[in-house]
Structure 1
Amino acid sequence: MRRSKVLYVPFWATYVFLYLPIVVLVVMSFNAGRSAYTYEGFSLKWYGELAADERIRTGVVNTLVVAAGSTVIATVLGTLLAVGLLRYTRSKALDALAMMPAVLPDLVLAIGLMLFYGLIDMTLGLHSVMLSHALFSMAFVAAVVRTRLAGADSSLEEASRDLGAGPVVTFLKITLPQLTPGIVAGALLAFTLSVDEFVIAFFTIGNDEPTLPIVIYSMIRFGVTPKINALAAILLLLSFTAVIAGQRLTKIGEKSRAQD
């Protein structure tokens, strides 16, 4: 049965609607003029100005510090959470609670965290954003690792326990190697989410240590310039690279599991 070509129209129209603005943004980042809406020729000068902007350099450093720290915390806790929910505790209520940070609106979670930090009299700064992003990302890491763990061979863990290995040794020697592709994919996802996240950082950071999304927000209040387009293009490249790397690692893990 031949498929009608008409059916492809909404399919491609959806992709054009999603990605055409991104293409326009990248093209305008190479604009020689100062206008963000009129293309006046090809130039790389805005990428050079990014490196000379102290605000952007500070925002990049702060963002990388927060993203690296939150990724480590979220990956460790998310992996342990996935193992605990799937191997030791079967509860739909706990499953729902573990995934709650991923489905809650960012604004609700951000306000709740801000009120909690105020309640415990915690000073806001990069450390508060790091903890907040770890809480937010942990649910995504747990979901990715749990999917990988659900397809792992549990008989190897049972054999390890039968041979006298304790739960810690079994986890380090048997479970963890099987979960490595999922853990790396979850870590890349957590890092990408932290780099791009704005709402939670806006409510939980101090006044003197802005992350890159907050710096961008402060810049676009006075209008969008090709410099902002250039910065957005770089962030897009980093995000796409992390997502593609995560997908590749997941496929490699699936192939190795199929071969085993």
Structure 2
Amino acid sequence: MFVTRFAPSPTGYLHRGHAFSALTAFEAARAVGGRFILRIEDIDVTRSRREFEDAIYEDLDWLGIAWESPVRRQSEHLDDYQAALAALTADHLTYRCFRTRKELAQAAASAPHGRAETFRGGPLPPLEETERLAAGSPFAWRLSLDAAEQALAGRPLSFVEEGEGPGGEHGTVAIDPGLAGGDVVLARKDVGVAYHLAVVVDDALQGVTHVIRGQDLFEAAHVQRLLQALLDLPTPIYRHHRLLTGPDGKRFAKRDHAETLRDLRARGVSPGELRAEMGFD
């Protein structure tokens, strides 16, 4: 059974780019008689708002998209992610990172791994870590790529790309976990669990067979495939699609205040007109 999903974060209103991604996944599922799941990725409690979540339901319904119920809201399943983090920690694959953003930038710039943005670190000496914890210093749990590579020594990992990566990647793609920035954050105090860990746990628990999303998340597939292997989770097929761009050539993004679907409705654009504009006739 073909199972895919659309997983927005309720940190703003949906725009054309979201609509294109949601319709791409929905129509793919409908074409083969598969299942389409809506998931609300609201683990960022500092930015998520219920008003934005309610707007997601309204916008998708306006587009003619139907989804299964109940909707999985990540904030209601934190124990699932903590269990996965505990399993990785028990296997000595994580460490507490106390570095500040400035320290991380300096460490990444001097890292001998071929990419200035790649960071690899490790735990502090036990005494120093104990002192930092006693002082209440903030830290993030990071995945150790060095430890992961040792744990999977001799086991090449790849994923199947049915769409196309930003560099034309297609077919069987060998992973390069460092593309996501090195030792990625799996959890932190202010946000709790982080994106990469929550996504792989959710996709496995919800039986997702095909991950259909924008090319801007292609690099994330590399570290997510690694986490799937470390947690002994199934690997879905990936289908990354092109990103919609505006007249200025820039992709639609919340941070750039892209025109929202609510704005489009307010000025009289119909769902049919928007679907046709994006190639869904």
TM-score for the superposition, normalised by structure 1: 0.27
Give the number of the structure whose alpha-carbon radius of gyration is greater.
1
Give TM-score scaled by structure 2 length: 0.26
